[in-house]
Structure 1
Amino acid sequence: MMSDDVSPTAFYEEKAKNILKGELKRRGITYALLAEKLNERGAHESERNLANKISRGSFTAAFFMMCMDVIGVRQVSLEV
């Protein structure tokens, strides 16, 4: 049971953050390199901004999908 002070989406934000961080680590991609790849696609993100956004885990599905695309992820497991 969740307490009233916890966002109902907190579990999924944490899961999305962990999936993204795991895929970056698996591929040896730093936040600096991710920023470079995103900038090439027109999404202007700094390394610091990415680190903050990903650590919060409260990014959009579009941001998640763009990150997955630029690092070459084609399949993601959503199993708990």
Structure 2
Amino acid sequence: MPKQPRAQELDPNIQNRENARRKTFWEDEARAIVRAEMERTGKSYKHLEALLAGVGVRNSAAAIMNRVNRGNFTFAFFLQLMVAMNCEELDLVRVARRFREVERDA
């Protein structure tokens, strides 16, 4: 028996909404990880401005805050932030688990 097409295969608008939902999930997770690390280390955006300068990134505190708030920064910027805050490990298992939960509930 032929496989029935999924709704998103029939309607590209559904696919676009799913892609947008997933993109929002990843941006929210990136933002949450950075903010959690800032809270854990007691760093402000002003602190990050100075710390990032130490790894060669020249951004104002306001520019850093805008990038973090958008959540759609590059992975390179994410790594620079984590190194600047001396983050030694990330719990990606938690992120993967949360993604599966969100996908299941969608």
RMSD value over aligned CA atoms? 2.0
Matching residue within 71, 82, 88 for 1:74 = 88
Shift of 1:8: 3.5
When the two structures are superposed, what TM-score results if normalisation uses the length of structure 1? Answer: 0.89
Per-residue CA deviations over 1:36-64 (Å, capped at 9, x if unaligned) read: 01012211110000111000000000100
Task: Give SS of 1:29's match.
Answer: coil
The number of aligned residues is 80
Q: Name structure 2 gaps, 5 residues minimum.
A: 1-13, 99-106
More RCO (CA 8 Å, sep 6+):
1
Higher deviation after alignment, 2-11 or 51-60: 2-11
Paired residue for 2:39? 25
Normalising by structure 2, report the TM-score.
Answer: 0.68
Return the offset for 1:26.
0.8
More helix by share: 2
> Percent identity, aligned pairs only?
28
Structure with larger Rg: 2
CA-CA distance at 1:6 after TM superposition: 2.6
Q: Which runs of 5+ in 1 are unaligned?
A: none
